[in-house]
A and B are shown apart, each in its own frame.
Chain A
């Protein structure tokens, strides 16, 4: 193991272990000692309606009602498009939308006032059925080759539809944000978030002033869920704090969080494939994502999903279309994998089904189509670096005996319990899609050296559990060859740190980590003992890249790829449909691990989230547009007892442009799990069952079994 990969005790270990870390809900007072007012949101209870009037009961002294009229700046949450308001405009578009906020010193009194508010509405017909939605926030199309010819010459054509459901991030700490008016009209906003500069941009616009600063508090998990939503909540508390001229905090309860905050987009993917001489020659793909009521991050989520749509297979002719459609439901957003899990699920199952139809073992069929270094990507970019997937398949086979079990379970299985095993393979495009890093983010980092030789990292990326405070410091201490304890990285405050971009897209370590390494090289060169020194480093696009054009979806969508292979082994109880995960295996190439334990923790955690997404994590809304699974007892995530046999391997294919060879890591382990899970389920069921959706629950399983006996 390389020195940089050797694990250390994490910078934030002691504080978190001892329960001393202060999360946003833990502050007793504001920074200046003032009492914190409690803010609670008046949520829409209707999926779509015109708001005619809001009558607020007489407010006791010290209590405020806040809504769009109190916004000093612009009533738009700064995300991608200008459609999401801070507080609703003339209409409400989903259950949960913020109409206003009640603020005051006593939480119970705030609740009482909230329940006394009367909202007069004119109900409108909501759009709830994704298939019937006609309003596309985003509509993309790309392709290459000659689709018509390929389909005309095909030996066989396949046409299948695949569906995936919501996934809720279910971070243990709910969304929470606090705003504190400071002297000289400055607004200080802090809380649980991934991207302090996103929040900064949003608050600035809503307050109409740059006289603000944003601090990331200790954040209890994100997984994408704290990429965009914190911008919404932050603007709401900031407006309230301005009106009350007092510190205001809003911490969601679990039900609010599960029901009203962003989740993974449900999807319907239709795949048509042309097959000739045992090879897939063309793919015609149409993807729709349920964006919810506002566009938020759906553009970028959809882009990533579409780019991944053909999987990691060489198919000469492809055509991909995709739309993010509006429904009157909670806006969907970022979640680990960011659009790709949906399409990887579809392509993996499609490949299985084609192989089975051709009488070939799916793994062999996939292996015959694998991309390799030098091949073009779906967007006519290039796989510039080695593709280690074949080796990774062999390594995972050695650990779980995949090929042998696959054969064994293919035999007819009788009796109450049936077993199956499945495998999926995929990538995660490391970093932002396309030229976002170069054109939009333009990351800047600094290293500040103090006279005592201690070095502080100044970057806007946030520790959300993934270990960034540790890995960043490891990179700097390694490059400067100074003790790990002499390097520190605090939670970012936009008053102090430059904008090195958001904590998203598995970019922080690969992209910002490399900037820090280069900054360390600079600092080393000019290092003078006893002096205060600072160096700065800015993002430069690697020169090997084929420029990406979003209008055509052409070029290198990603500089490099992290690779993943999963195997899942199941045993199904045919009486109840309940599946037991006998083993969940992952082999992951994220380049050089910046810390073995930290990377392993990411891989294991992501893999388990993937098992949840595939099986028990089911969320849906009713015919009013209300999400029914809004608590930890209704939306189930895995416990310690659900996948006791979970094993991850690391395969290292270094990326020369990442720090010491590191690539994006965080999202990868979740991305492809449903493909392996549902394939295992298909094999366990046997008898020609073809499955096409995830999560695949016990209920789904039993209904599938019931088809066998024609019940």
Chain B
């Protein structure tokens, strides 16, 4: 098979359109899969994809930025750093990228969970232009992405935001080299005693990352007192909606942990 190693983004996009080859960023997922008869588009040397930038609205993390680079970058939000610091081990964090974590389409992707709760958008590029898609729309299902054959993931756009309180928990099988068995991230901001924003996302428990914006809406504008009274109602709403799968651990365990972590998170209000 033919493989391609572009040096510039323009070149990469052109090759992507012409060949539909599989983008290779860090290799940590692709090489484990070890697919036969595949052509790779080696985008790991494309400098334009390896920057962390900021503009008025967003922190823009290039898809080729590795987890190690992110941990050493001042612009990357703390919540993202906390999640990324718990990925695998140094050699994997040195290779693994934000684009690859997304592109693998797994619900276990630790950076993607944070992108969900922070309302990130994914900037996709092709020779024909750009598309910007909300992360939860981009992630359609297990290994099912809103990514066209000629597109590359270019950047993760994280809206600049002040996070008042957050909770993050990764449940892996051990303290390092652990694939998430359950992960949870939640953010809550209050203003004048009322809930201004609430976001909660669950990773590694179903085919895709789970976030229920409808349930969150029911909490918005509630006073802290009201929210506390309604806490069990909210939890029930979540639990009724969550259909979990078994993986390395049982669905029952996942559900119980999700409920516990959600309840604990709602204590922050």
A and B touching (Cβ–Cβ under 8 A): yes
Q: Contacts of B59 on A, CB cut-off 8 Å?
A: none
B177–A639 touching, CB < 8 Å: yes
Selecting from B47-55, B72-80, B135-143, B166-174, the interface stretch reads B166-174
Contact with A along B232-269 (1 / 0, CB 8 A): 00000000000000001110110011001100100000
Contact of B253 among A632, A639, A702 (CB under 8 A): A702
Selecting from A260-268, A571-579, A583-591, A673-681, the interface stretch reads A571-579
Residue of B nearest to A636 (CB): B173
B253–A616 touching, CB < 8 Å: no
Roughly how many angstroms separate A616 CA and B264 CA in the complex, as a whole number? 25
Q: Contacts of A702 on B, CB cut-off 8 Å?
A: 253, 256-257
Roughly how many angstroms separate A640 CA and B169 CA in the complex, as a whole number? 21
B179–A642 touching, CB < 8 Å: no
Roughly how many angstroms separate A699 CA and B250 CA in the complex, as a whole number? 8
A634–B248 touching, CB < 8 Å: yes
Roughly how many angstroms separate A703 CA and B256 CA in the complex, as a whole number? 9
A575–B257 touching, CB < 8 Å: yes
Q: Contacts of A638 on B, CB cut-off 8 Å?
A: 174
Q: Contacts of A25 on B, CB cut-off 8 Å?
A: none
Roughly how many angstroms separate A703 CA and B54 CA in the complex, as a whole number? 45
The reply on A652 being an interface residue by CB < 8 A is no
Q: Contacts of A616 on B, CB cut-off 8 Å?
A: 173-174
Roughly how many angstroms separate A576 CA and B176 CA in the complex, as a whole number? 17
Contact with B along A203-234 (1 / 0, CB 8 A): 00000000000000000000000000000000
The reply on B163 being an interface residue by CB < 8 A is no
Contact with B along A388-431 (1 / 0, CB 8 A): 00000000000000000000000000001000000000000000
Q: Contacts of A639 on B, CB cut-off 8 Å?
A: 89, 174-177
Residue of B nearest to A634 (CB): B248
For the side of the interface on A, what is the size category?
Answer: 20 to 34
B264–A416 touching, CB < 8 Å: yes
Residue of A nearest to B181 (CB): A698
The reply on A706 being an interface residue by CB < 8 A is yes
Interface-centre pick from A574, A640, A698 (highest chain B CB count, 10 A)? A698
Roughly how many angstroms separate A616 CA and B175 CA in the complex, as a whole number? 11
Q: Contacts of B256 on A, CB cut-off 8 Å?
A: 702-703, 706, 711
The reply on B182 being an interface residue by CB < 8 A is yes
Contact with A along B132-162 (1 / 0, CB 8 A): 0000000000000000000000000000000
B248–chain A nearest beta-carbon distance, Å: 7
Roughly how many angstroms separate A706 CA and B256 CA in the complex, as a whole number? 9
B253–A699 touching, CB < 8 Å: yes
Contact of A699 among B89, B174, B249 (CB under 8 A): B249
Residue of A nearest to B182 (CB): A576
Q: Contacts of B173 on A, CB cut-off 8 Å?
A: 616, 636, 698
The reply on A641 being an interface residue by CB < 8 A is yes
Roughly how many angstroms separate A639 CA and B174 CA in the complex, as a whole number? 8
Roughly how many angstroms separate A343 CA and B173 CA in the complex, as a whole number? 26
B269–chain A nearest beta-carbon distance, Å: 17
Given A575-B264, A699-B249, decide whether A641 and B257 contact each other with a Cβ distance below 8 A: no
Total B residues in contact with A, Cβ cutoff 8 Å: 21
Interface-centre pick from A416, A702, A703 (highest chain B CB count, 10 A)? A702
The reply on A633 being an interface residue by CB < 8 A is yes
Q: Contacts of B261 on A, CB cut-off 8 Å?
A: 575-576
B176–A641 touching, CB < 8 Å: yes
Chain B, 204-230, CB within 8 A of any chain A CB: none
Given A642-B176, A702-B253, A703-B253, decide whether A578 and B171 contact each other with a Cβ distance below 8 A: yes
Roughly how many angstroms separate A711 CA and B173 CA in the complex, as a whole number? 24
Contact with A along B170-195 (1 / 0, CB 8 A): 01011111110010000000000000
B171–chain A nearest beta-carbon distance, Å: 5
Q: Contacts of B250 on A, CB cut-off 8 Å?
A: 699
Q: Contacts of A641 on B, CB cut-off 8 Å?
A: 174-176
Roughly how many angstroms separate A711 CA and B178 CA in the complex, as a whole number? 29
Contact with B along A639-677 (1 / 0, CB 8 A): 111100000000000000000000000000000000000
A576–B260 touching, CB < 8 Å: yes
Contact of B174 among A574, A576, A636 (CB under 8 A): A636
B166–chain A nearest beta-carbon distance, Å: 16
Q: Contacts of A632 on B, CB cut-off 8 Å?
A: 177
Contact of A576 among B171, B175, B248, B252 (CB under 8 A): B171
A11–chain B nearest beta-carbon distance, Å: 31
Q: Contacts of B178 on A, CB cut-off 8 Å?
A: 636
Q: Contacts of B176 on A, CB cut-off 8 Å?
A: 639-642
Q: Contacts of A642 on B, CB cut-off 8 Å?
A: 174-176
Residue of B nearest to A637 (CB): B174
Residue of A nearest to B252 (CB): A703
Roughly how many angstroms separate A641 CA and B173 CA in the complex, as a whole number? 12
Roughly how many angstroms separate A699 CA and B171 CA in the complex, as a whole number? 11
Q: Contacts of B248 on A, CB cut-off 8 Å?
A: 634
A633–B179 touching, CB < 8 Å: yes
Q: Contacts of A576 on B, CB cut-off 8 Å?
A: 169, 171, 182, 257, 260-261
A436–chain B nearest beta-carbon distance, Å: 38
Roughly how many angstroms separate A577 CA and B171 CA in the complex, as a whole number? 9
B183–chain A nearest beta-carbon distance, Å: 11
Residue of A nearest to B169 (CB): A576
Q: Contacts of B252 on A, CB cut-off 8 Å?
A: 703
Roughly how many angstroms separate A641 CA and B249 CA in the complex, as a whole number? 22
B177–A698 touching, CB < 8 Å: no
Roughly how many angstroms separate A600 CA and B65 CA in the complex, as a whole number? 43
Residue of B nearest to A644 (CB): B175
Roughly how many angstroms separate A703 CA and B173 CA in the complex, as a whole number? 16
Roughly how many angstroms separate A642 CA and B172 CA in the complex, as a whole number? 12
A698–B175 touching, CB < 8 Å: no
A172–chain B nearest beta-carbon distance, Å: 14
Residue of B nearest to A638 (CB): B174
Chain A, 330-377, CB within 8 A of any chain B CB: none
Roughly how many angstroms separate A575 CA and B260 CA in the complex, as a whole number? 5
Q: Contacts of A416 on B, CB cut-off 8 Å?
A: 264
B265–chain A nearest beta-carbon distance, Å: 10
Roughly how many angstroms separate A575 CA and B263 CA in the complex, as a whole number? 9
Roughly how many angstroms separate A577 CA and B254 CA in the complex, as a whole number? 11
B244–chain A nearest beta-carbon distance, Å: 13
A577–B257 touching, CB < 8 Å: yes
Roughly how many angstroms separate A576 CA and B252 CA in the complex, as a whole number? 12
Q: Contacts of A577 on B, CB cut-off 8 Å?
A: 253, 257
A640–chain B nearest beta-carbon distance, Å: 7
B64–chain A nearest beta-carbon distance, Å: 25
Roughly how many angstroms separate A577 CA and B259 CA in the complex, as a whole number? 13
Roughly how many angstroms separate A640 CA and B182 CA in the complex, as a whole number? 22
Roughly how many angstroms separate A25 CA and B175 CA in the complex, as a whole number? 31
Roughly how many angstroms separate A667 CA and B88 CA in the complex, as a whole number? 31
Chain A, 686-709, CB within 8 A of any chain B CB: 698-699, 702-703, 706
Roughly how many angstroms separate A81 CA and B227 CA in the complex, as a whole number? 69
Residue of A nearest to B260 (CB): A575
Interface-centre pick from A574, A575, A642 (highest chain B CB count, 10 A)? A575
Roughly how many angstroms separate A642 CA and B176 CA in the complex, as a whole number? 8
Roughly how many angstroms separate A201 CA and B184 CA in the complex, as a whole number? 56
Q: Contacts of A578 on B, CB cut-off 8 Å?
A: 171
Q: Contacts of A634 on B, CB cut-off 8 Å?
A: 248
Q: Can you list 30 residue pairs at the A/B interface with Cβ under 8 Å?
A: A574-B260, A575-B169, A575-B260, A575-B261, A576-B171, A576-B261, A577-B253, A616-B173, A634-B248, A636-B173, A636-B177, A638-B174, A639-B89, A639-B174, A639-B175, A639-B177, A640-B176, A641-B174, A641-B175, A641-B176, A642-B175, A642-B176, A698-B253, A699-B249, A699-B253, A702-B253, A702-B256, A703-B253, A703-B256, A706-B256
A-B contact sample (4 more), CB < 8 A, given A616-B174, A639-B175: A576-B261, A633-B177, A636-B177, A639-B89
User: Which 8 pairs, one residue from A and one from B, show the smallest C-beta to C-beta distance?
Assistant: A641-B175, A575-B260, A639-B176, A641-B176, A636-B173, A699-B253, A576-B171, A642-B175
